[in-house]
Amino acid sequence: MDVTKRIQNEKEFENWTELPGEGRKYWFDVTGRNGGKARYVKEVDRNEKTIVFRQEIFDQHGTMIEIHEKFPVDKGHKKIIP
């Protein structure tokens, strides 16, 4: 495990949880002007190597309305249809 990278991720992201296989999911939220929020999510393997990085957009009611997967491939914004 890359301890230096883990410490860096813990400083950069406000929240994290352990994943199966010794990986981690990190995230932090940014409040939007209209009352919604954007959540930035980073999933890493046991060596703290990034597996997935995405942005999740929530409306003012907390419902996810859009997702933008940025890594490993930038897939652009995708609307979520309830």
pLDDT tens, per residue, the chain with 82 residues: 889 999 999 999 989 999 998 999 999 999 998 899 999 999 999 999 999 999 999 999 999 999 999 999 999 999 998 6
Which residue from 4, 53, 3 is spatially nearest to 26, judged by alpha carbons? 53
Q: Which residue has the tokens 């495990």?
A: 1
In three-state secondary structure terms, 48 is coil
Reading the block at residue 58, the tokens are 């929530």
User: Are 37 and 28 in contact, with CB atoms under 8 Å apart?
Assistant: no
Look at the chain and report how many structural domains it folds into. Answer: 1
Going through the chain in order, the beta strands assigned E by DSSP cover: 15-18, 24-31, 37-44, 50-58, 64-71, 76-79
| Domain coverage including residue 60 | 3-79
pLDDT value for 34: 85
